[in-house]
Chain A
């Protein structure tokens, strides 16, 4: 059982280049998230999705776009990379309890380390 898989794991970009990070989950989870992790700042939410075909902005969405065309995949795009986007990016998914309707815990991928020169 793979859980949450992120590709690529490492990438180096030049300023102005574009790229897409792919997140795939095999747990049939409704909710998916993209976070960035920077030293001393914890994890900050970039965008999230509560279902196929829906996306929403988090606390640091500028410079990023996302798409969720299939339930199992959540793509994070950088249209024109900037050095400030050098970070470790984490994808996560979560579910809704069938009985309580409450959202459960987050399941994380291993992270994607992006360096923008």
Chain B
């Protein structure tokens, strides 16, 4: 079965330190993978996407993610956290051959001053 797992429900970092949000997927086919961010009481905004082109994907606000097929991972990173990065982040997997998207359960990022 195709699925996506976010390994941490909560992550806390200090401002200025690196951010790592982990996502693993399960699929027999080449996936399309996305990271979305949701600020409180807002909709979801696309950070970046992987669709079988370059394995290192750069997104908005300094975020990037690397697709590693051997590890079935698509972890989100940022070199230096900012207070405005505090939000919930969702890893999303698009199922091959259908129009459906599968969401991870989310990782809430807290940035400490």
B contact residues around A41 at 8 Å (CB): 105
Are B51 and A90 closer than 8 Å at their CB atoms? Answer: no
B contact residues around A27 at 8 Å (CB): none
B contact residues around A107 at 8 Å (CB): 46
Determine if A69 is an interface residue (Cβ-Cβ < 8 Å).
no
**Given A42-B106, A102-B32: A90 and B100 interface contact (C-beta under 8 Å):** no
Determine if B25 is an interface residue (Cβ-Cβ < 8 Å).
no
A contact residues around B105 at 8 Å (CB): 40-42
Residues on B lying within 8 angstroms of A by beta carbon are 9, 32, 34, 36, 41-46, 49, 51, 90, 92, 94, 99-101, 103-106
Residues on A lying within 8 angstroms of B by beta carbon are 4, 31, 33, 35, 40-45, 48, 50, 58, 90, 92, 94, 100, 102-103, 105-111
